Structure formats: C-alpha cells, structure tokens
Structure 1
Amino acid sequence: MAITNLNQFLTDYFSAKDCEIISNHDGVIQIQLNEQMDRELMNRPFYWHYIKKIGRTGDPMQLTLITNPQKRDEQGEWIHFGSPRLQQIMNHLKEKEKFTKLFQSMDVTEKTALHPWLVINFKISYQGQHKKDEIISIGLHLVNGMMKLDMMNLLTKFSLQTTISDYCFTLSPMIKIKSGYLRMEAVLSNYIEEQEHTWAKKSSELLEEEIQTLKHFYQGDEESEQMQKEQEALMKRYQPNIAMNVINGGIVYLQQDAL
C-alpha cells in the first residue's frame, strides 16, 4: 500500500515543477532547478534579491539527491523518509499545493466524458521508541465508488493539465468529497489495525521501565514539579502513538476505464 519508490516520487515531483532531470541512475538523481524551486528549496533570498536588483536572470542551482543507501557516501544529499530535505518538500506541498484539480489531456474530436477521482496522499506516523513515516496514496472514483491504491504511481501514465481539453466534459460526482474521505480513512484504519504492533508493546514496556527508574531516583519526592516534567518528557518520547495526516490531494478527471 505504501509509496516505497522514493526515487519515482522525487522525479515526478521535480518534473511537475518543470525542473530538468539531468540524470537518474541507480538511486542518484541530478536535478536542474528553475528559479521558482531554487527560491523554494535552496534558502538563497539575498542572492535572488541582489540578482533582481541588478536586473539579471539569475543562475538556479543543481541538486543531487541520493535515494540508494549504497550510494549515500557519494557527492549529493542522502534523502530518505524523515530526512530534512524530504520534510522540506512535504511541507512545501502541504503549505502551498495541498489541493488541486487536474484533467486528463485528451486529443478528441467528439464529446468525451471525464470521470472524477478523489485522490489523497496520506502520511501515517508511527511514534514511540523509534519513529517511522509511511506514505499511502488512494484514489476513489466519485461515481461508482471504485478505490485504487498506489494512485500517484498509477497517474504517472497520464498527461494531466489544469484545463479541460476541447470536446471534453466532466461528470458530476455521486459521492460527496467528505463521504469519500471517510471511506479512505476507514480503509487506512483497517490497514493499521491489521499490522503487527510489537513495536508499540516494546515501547510501552520501555516507558514503564524508565518511569520506575525515575520514581526510584525521586523516591520520597515523587510529587515534585521536576519529576513531573521529566515523566511528561518520557511519555512524550516513548508512549506509542499512530497519527494519520493528509499531505495533499485533489480531484482528477480521467476518461472512463482509464484505470
């Protein structure tokens, strides 16, 4: 269910941002940023302020991202779930491009119906002694209720655009967006429940051990404010928790039987 192909996600992301993928081989991606993405990701506000002040075009940087663990010592940025760079990209998507509406690009000469799909990318965060994030992409056909997993990868075979093509028209959804979202949420809840959660048990056991050690240290002074603060810090660090959040999503209109 999870999007485990981080390399594909990154190439799709930068391609969608009109950045040139110079090379992509064996988990090493070299990207030529454009001005917009340089501004968004490279933290050079003074450079761009100066360039614009003197009326020049500017020179966006190149970015090399490494997704292959065996290549992590090569020149470039080692990127993985939880890395600062990936978090930056996720935050950018969350803040500025959380929702969208796209249409399949069609070259037709007769009226063609496009069907609405609700597409949402979720992040499931497992928090305890160790932390892990899992990204899951789901698509729901808002007319017949069909659901597809790994939706973002499925969409890569289509040319999508922000305007509808000539001779095309959209079908009205039969399923409301809120209802569709709740269906997806139910699928993810079942997925989480079906997993083994030995990590949570181990984390709870470790939390109890740490609290007992703390109580022993503060024996006779267990109501002290300092002990309460330390106990709260332990619970925040070790108490098992699973959080589910929406990264981004939108409505994508596709031709009938496209998927």
Structure 2
Amino acid sequence: MAINDLHHFLTSYFSAHHCSLLYDDANMLTVQLTEKMDRALINRPFYWHYVKQMGFAGEPKQLTVITNPDKRDGKHEWIHYGSPRLQQITNHLLEHEKFTKLYERVNANQKTALYPWLITNIKISYQGKQKKDEIISIGLHLINGAMRLEMMEMLQERSMQNAISDYCYTISPMIKLQSGFRRIENVLISYIQDQDHDWAEASRQRMDEEMNLLRHFYQEEEQQQEMNKEIGDIKKRYSPRISFDVVNGGIFYLTDNQ
C-alpha cells in the first residue's frame, strides 16, 4: 500500500476526531489533539488527574508524525505500518469506534437521494520470518455492487455527519451486510494471491533450517519431548500465514450513485 494511503488514513482519523490539522504536506502531519485524543494517545494520566483536581482546563499536546520514510529527520516521530503509534491508533479504533453510520452533509433545496456504501479499513497481517501489516480501505456500493479502493482518500473530500441533511433521503440497501463482507473478503483474497510470495518461501526455508539444527543437538531419546516443544515454537514463529482484521467500518450514505 502506498505511503499516501497511510497519510490519508491518518488525516481522516484525526479530522474525524475533531483534531485540527496544523500542518499537512503529504510527508509530515502536525495535529492539535483534543483532550479526549490526548488521553487516548499520549500517556500522561497523572497530568490530567492533576489539572482536573486543580480545576484547570489542561493543555492537550500537538502531535507531529512523518509518513514518508525518505523524510525522516530524527526529531519527529516516523509512523509506518507495524509502528507502535499506528498500532495504538488501530487499537483505539477497535476499542471505541469500530462501526459507525454516517451521512454526507448536503446543502439541498430539493429531494436528494443518499446511497449506502459499506466502507471498511482492513489490516492485512503477513507473519513469518518477518512481519508486515498493510491497511486497505475499500468500499462496496450496496445497491449496484460497485467496489472502490482508497475510500478514505475519497471520504477526505466529503463532509460527513451523524444526522441526515434536510431534503435528503436514504436508498435501502439491496446487498445484505453479510454478503457485502464476503464480496470484500473475496477481493482481498484475490489481491493477496496476485502478490509475490517469496517471503513465505524464505520463512519456510528458515523454519526447516532451524528444525534441522535443533535435531542435530537433540539426538538422545530422552530429549524427544523437549525437542518437540522447541520444534512447536519454531513452527509458530516461522510458519508463513496471512490474516485479516477489520480495523473499523460502517455504512456511509453518499450522494454518488456509482
């Protein structure tokens, strides 16, 4: 997934949580956190306990992250797939805001239809000799079955809200959610099958090397149980596998009937 996708994911995430974007140039992002987001992402519970005890409002921090690895400067935090900060953000979404329903804000003076999209951000985890996470943002039109990637980037250009705008009405989905998720899953499976899987073969080769070396050291019959335990640990560590996790998603009612 391109680094711009991660950048758009982050700008959408902070915007949705009412954080001001102070600086945004596709390489670096500076946001003014709200108190709620400061509590969620900045580990300083004693500070907030103290200021509340003293009756002060408190000052949420600013957060600056670099999203382009070529622009790392040693002063600011580099955020990337698999980084602790991105894991913290995805965990926050999983814990608090995994599913939602939102409507596009429309200034209409006549009846305007809003069409349902199932939109999900899905983390694909590749595990083996090396680990890698990838976030895919995908949307499914629940009327005609059209599917689009980089939905977070598209939503960045829209204004969304919790209530439907005046003069707007929603079109009922033709595709059920369960069927929609299966369609998205099939697209992701095809996406993975089309990739180069040399990493998996390298993981299996490393696993075989580790197990052969282990068998060389454990040649006594009474050591069999201990050897089997270590072989199990090696398989767990090096067996290549791919998993999907829904970071968050929901039903988004949009003006486009694409």
Distance 1:200 1:185, change over 3 A: same
Contact 1:124–1:244 (CA under 8 A) maintained in structure 2: yes
Whichever residue aligns with residue 124 of structure 1, its letter is I
Aligned twin of 1:203:
203
Q: Secondary structure at the match of 1:210?
A: helix
Q: Could you tell me which residue of structure 2 aligns to residue 13 of structure 1?
A: 13
Partners of 1:168 and 1:222 in 2: CA distance: 75
For residue 242 of structure 1, what is the aligned residue in structure 2? 242
Tell which deviates more after alignment, 217-226 or 144-153.
Answer: 217-226
1:210 to 1:42, Cα distance in 2 relative to 1, 3 A: same
Kept after mapping to 1: 8 A contact 2:12/2:152: no
1:58-69, aligned counterparts within 5 Å? 58-69=58-69
SS for the counterpart of 2:57 is coil
Residue in structure 2 matched with residue 133 of structure 1 by the alignment: 133
**TM-score w.r.t. structure 2 length?**
0.94
Deviation of the 1:76 alpha carbon: 1.7
1:98 aligns with 2:67: no
Equivalent residue for 1:4? 3
Tell me the equivalent position of 2:178.
Answer: 178
| Distance in 1, Cα, partners of 2:248 & 2:26 | 28
Return the alpha-carbon distance in structure 1 between the equivalents of residues 61 and 3 of structure 2: 27
| Matched-pair contact (CA < 8 Å) for 2:116–2:170 | yes
Q: 1: CA distance between counterparts of 2:57 and 2:201? A: 57
State the distance in 1 between where 2:209 and 2:193 align: 26
- Deviations 1:78-97, CA, capped at 9 Å, x for gaps: 11111101100010011111
- Cα deviation digits, residues 166-193 of structure 1 (max 9, x gap): 0111111111000000011111111111
- SS of match in other structure, 1:116: strand
Please tell me the residue identity of whatever aligns with 2:150: D
Aligned to 1:76: 76
Matched residue, 2:163: 163
- Report the alpha carbon displacement of residue 222 of structure 1 after superposing the two structures with TM: 7.0
**SS in structure 1 of the partner of residue 3 of structure 2:** coil
1:3–1:134 Cα contact (<8 Å) kept = no
SS of aligned partner of 1:73: coil
Offset at 1:124? 0.9
The alpha-carbon deviation at position 239 of structure 1 amounts to: 0.7
Kept in 2: contact 1:200–1:240 (CA 8 A): yes
Q: Distance in 1 between matches of 2:234 and 2:12?
A: 40
Answer whether contact 1:23 1:31 (CA < 8 A) is retained: yes
SS of residue in 2 equivalent to 1:224: helix
- Say if 1:195 and 1:148 are closer, same or farther in 2 by CA, change over 3 A: same
Secondary structure of the corresponding residue to residue 103 of structure 2: strand
Using the TM superposition, give the Cα deviation of residue 228 of structure 1 relative to its aligned residue in structure 2, in angstroms. 2.4
The CA distance in 2 between the partners of 1:17 and 1:115, in whole Å, is 24
Alpha-carbon distance in 2 for matches of 1:143, 1:24:
35
Distance 1:32 1:67 in 2: 17
Check if 1:56 corresponds to 2:19: no
Structure 1 gaps of 5+ residues are: none
Match of 2:187 in 1: 187
In 2, are the aligned partners of 1:3 and 1:137 still within 8 Å (CA)?
no
Distance 1:199 1:185 in 2: 22
Deviation at 1:26, TM superposition (A): 6.0
Deviation at 1:44, TM superposition (A): 1.2
The match for 2:151 is: 151
Structure 2's unaligned 5+ residue stretches are none
**Counterpart-to-counterpart distance in 2, 1:222 and 1:200:** 33
For 2:29 and 2:137, the matched residues in 1 are separated by 23
Deviates more, 1:94-103 or 1:220-229: 220-229
Distance 1:220 1:130 in 2: 32
1:200-256 alpha-carbon deviations (Å, 9 max, x no partner): 111111101110100111112475333223212211111110111111110000114
- For residues 211 and 109 of structure 1, the distance between their equivalents in structure 2, rounded to whole angstroms, comes to 71
**2-structure distance, mates of 1:157, 1:30:** 19
In the alignment, which residue of structure 1 is the partner of 2:217?
217
